[in-house]
Structure 1
Amino acid sequence: MTNLFSAATTPTERRRAFRAGLAGDRIQRLPGAFSPLVARAIADAGFEGVYVSGAVVAADLALPDIGLTTLTEVAGRARQIARATELPVLVDADTGFGEPMSAARTVSELEDAGLAGCHLEDQVNPKRCGHLDGKEVVPTDVMVRRLGAAVSARRDDSFVICARTDAAGTEGIDAAIERAKAYADAGADMIFTEALRTPADFEKFRAAVDIPLLANMTEFGKTELIGAELLEDIGYNAVIYPVTTLRIAMGQVEDALADIAATGTQTGWLDRMQHRSRLYELLRYAEYNVFDQKLFTYRRPPGD
């Protein structure tokens, strides 16, 4: 029987699957999940992985993405999401929540939480959203120490440590490429270059860096939205859609609340809601019923 309370596969198995996907010919697509239930929907839709965005964890707490969340909060939400899916989960670990020793502890906590990998960035701590102006990056040697500490703390060699650089927007693409090479030498398994603008930028980066590359297709930022097929053709190994599901959900929530406030009823939104029966499918009500009908006696109503 399916394990109802956690993933059936082990964290190491999911990490190895992630690494195998990164080494394969197909780009790994990782939509962001703001909850475990969204992670279930991502898996049902046929994606290769799940992403947990630091900006989304902050937004869900009604906080801006300026380094206010803690390791405990991020690891806790990421653990909940990883528990609910068989897909590998990559999490945004910001700057490692402190100095190199903090980055080492971050990797240890995220391994324990069942994540497939994380990315650490080279912004000054506390950081800010990668698509805002006014970012600052630490010197390359500081980030190399940050990465070195993270790699040294890794107990499972299959756990993926990705290095994010925000230098393209502050120092230019050539400087970001040089940083990426230094980060690869420091032990990073993958490079994430934030806020590249055009396909030509992605092509330039791919031509210069040998290890797997991750693209960020976030909306309303500095990057032209590029389809997964083109990114795959360019040679990128993974793409994240970090805030997409939250933006879709919140857009619908705000529109619906305004309509209900004006009309006094939600009836105009019934055909735009997830139906109760579909929600129950994602929640696996029927499987819980099989597990113990004495404790749980849900029956789907006729026609539901």
Structure 2
Amino acid sequence: MSIDPLMVLASLGIGVVVGLTGMGGGALMTPVMVLLFNVPPLTAVSSDLVASAVMKPVGSFVHLRRGTVNLGLVKWLCLGSVPAAFCGVLVTRALGSGKEVQDAVQTALGVALLVAAAGLIIRAYLRLSERARRRDGSAEALPQDRPEVRMRPLPTVLVGAVGGLVVGMTSVGSGSLIIIALMALYPRLKASQLVGTDLLQAVPLVAAAALGHILFGDFKLGLTASLLLGAVPGVWVGAQLSSRAPGGVVRRALAFVLLASALKLLGVSTPATGIALVAVALVAPVLWMLIRRRLGFPALAGRRARARLRRAQADGPLADGPLPQTES
């Protein structure tokens, strides 16, 4: 078993991003292995899923102990996701062998990354829209204790099945795609419950996908060990920084990186990728500012935090404690 120091460093950086945002593990780790280290797509998916199966239980058990998990949702999600994740590996193998299956996995990964990037944008919009409704008093206030939700078994099982299939084939989706669907199906869930429920259901989901890849995929122990050596301390560092870092900026940068990786995995030429990314970098901030203004927020998120800081300074010396943070 050989350890790749550069792979350890790359996974360390990705682990920090995961600790900061709670997402992006498979969506970043797998394309980095494929695009920067020339790891075959199926090998990258297999090793990333096995590494995730080791890391996922840590955060999920923290949420379980704190009571921020809806166990009913976990049950219905796993009913669809666990068998679908295992079947995703079989579907991948049924596509062929050699170059054919690698190309198919790479294409599926590119599509999944596009969906994940779109999911990040949708999630940010939904959060901003919810804040606007609560500010205006047009949204029903959530109770302070854990809100009761009306279970929707069939849609929940279907979400789990689709998410499990995508994860089994690409390693992407357990922390980015499924949580978007949960937000739409169960809008009364608190943010902490959304994250906790998604993390716990991802444990058996990723475990099933990892088992399938160990048996039928292209799992490499040395590659997985390199991922774990970097990602585990990286996640811890990211979690320590998460309370002080501007999470909204990190998530937008993550969506940008996912888009770039998706375009390259889908075979888009480097000049065309560059043009698309420059266009997004120029247009997206303007559109987001227009959306913020339309919802009644300042165009620049930092303006409100700076105003609060100026008011605090005008009132007297600042008390010990963290400075106001910018919004997403």
TM-score range, shorter chain: under 0.3
Q: Which has the higher contact order (CA 8 A, sep 6+)?
A: 2
The answer to which structure has the higher strand fraction is 1
Q: What's the TM-score once normalised by structure 2's chain length?
A: 0.24
The answer to which structure has the higher helix fraction is 2
